[in-house]
Amino acid sequence: MQQPDISFMSVVKIGDKRFEPFITSGRIQAVVKKLTASINLKYSGKDPVFVAVLNGSFIFASDLLKQFKGNCQISFVKVASYSGSKRNSRISPLIGLNEQLKGRHVIILEDIIDTGNTLKHVHSAVKKARPASIAVASLFFKHRVYKKSIKIDHCGIKIPDHFIIGYGLDYNGYGRNLRSVYKLKTND
Ligand code: IMP
Ligand code: MG
Residue 146, pLDDT > 60, answer yes
Tell me phi and psi for residue 182, to 5 degrees. -125, 150
- Contacting residues for 5 by C-beta, under 8 A, at least 6 apart: 24, 25, 26, 179, 180
What Å distances lie between residue 74 and 51, 53, 68, 104, CA to CA?
Answer: 6, 11, 12, 12
Distance CA(42)–CA(39), nearest Å, equals 5
Residue 99, pLDDT > 80, answer no
Q: Which amino acid is at 102?
A: K
pLDDT band at 158 (very low <50, low <70, confident <90, very high): very high
What's the mean pLDDT in 76-94? 70
pLDDT band at 79 (very low <50, low <70, confident <90, very high): confident
**Which position has the higher pLDDT, 97 or 133?**
133
Q: Is the CB of 116 within 6 Å of ligand 1?
A: yes
Residue from 152, 169, 176, 184 to probe ligand 1 pocket by mutation (most atoms less than 8 Å from CB): 169
Distance 57 CA to ligand 2 centre (A): 6
Can you give the pLDDT at residue 83? 61
Can you give the pLDDT at residue 80? 58
Residue from 76, 94, 115, 118 to probe ligand 1 pocket by mutation (most atoms less than 8 Å from CB): 118
Q: Whose CA is nearest to atom 12 of ligand 1?
A: 56
Q: Whose CA is nearest to atom 20 of ligand 1?
A: 164
- Which of 63, 111, 114, 170 is catalytic? The answer is 114
Q: Is 47 a catalytic residue?
A: no
Give pairs for 139-144: CB < 8 Å, separation 24+: 139/28, 139/31, 139/32, 139/35, 139/57, 139/60, 139/110, 139/111, 139/112, 139/167, 140/111, 140/112, 140/113, 140/164, 140/169, 140/181, 141/112, 141/113, 142/112, 142/113, 142/114
* Cβ 25 vs Cβ 180: under 8 Å: yes
pTM tops 0.95, yes or no: no
- Contacting residues for 106 by C-beta, under 8 A, at least 6 apart: 48, 49, 50, 51, 126, 131, 133, 134, 135
Distance CA(96)–CA(75), nearest Å, equals 7
What's the mean pLDDT in 101-109? 97
What's the mean pLDDT in 61-89? 84
Q: Is the CB of 77 within 6 Å of ligand 1?
A: no
CA torsion 131-135-140-142 (nearest 10°) is 100
Residue 91, pLDDT > 90, answer no
pLDDT band at 108 (very low <50, low <70, confident <90, very high): very high
Q: Whose CA is nearest to atom 11 of ligand 1?
A: 112
Can you give the pLDDT at residue 1? 63
